[in-house]
Structure 1
Amino acid sequence: MPGGRLTHEDRRQIASWLADGLGYAEIARRLGRPTSTISREVARNSAPGGYLADRAQQAAGQRARRRRPAQAAEPPAGGRPAEAVRGFVEQFAALLVGVGLPRMPARVFVCLLTSGSGSLTSAELVRRLQVSPASVSKAIGYLEEMELVRRTQESGRRERYVIDDDVWLRAFKADTGAHAEVAAAARRGIEIFGAGTPAGARLGRMAGFFAWISEQMNGSGLTDAAVRDALTVLAALVHAARPLSVDELATALGWPVQRAAGALDTIGRRAALADPLTVERAGDGTFAVTPRADRLSAAQRAALAAGPRPAGEARS
Structure 2
Amino acid sequence: MSNTRVGATEIIKNYKGDYTSRPDLLATEEPLEIRVGFGEEHNRREEKLAVTMRTPGNDAELAMGFLFTEGIITNAEQVVSALHCENVKPEEKGNVIRVELHPEHNFDPAILQRNFYTNSSCGVCGKSSIESIHQLCNYIDTDLVIEESYIRSAPEKLRAGQDVFEHTGGLHAAGLFDKLGQLCFIREDVGRHNAMDKLVGTALSNSLLPLSEYFILVSGRASFELVQKGAMAGTALMAAVGAPSSLAVNLAKETGMTLVGFLKMDGFNIYSGIERINLQADNYLKV
TM over 0.5: no
The TM-score by the shorter chain falls in which range? under 0.3
Structure having the larger proportion of residues in strand: 2
Structure having the larger proportion of residues in helix: 1
Q: 1 or 2 for the larger relative contact order (CA 8 Å, sep ≥6)? A: 2
Which protein is bigger by CA-based radius of gyration?
1
TM-score of the superposition, structure 2-length normalised?
0.27
TM-score of the superposition, structure 1-length normalised?
0.25
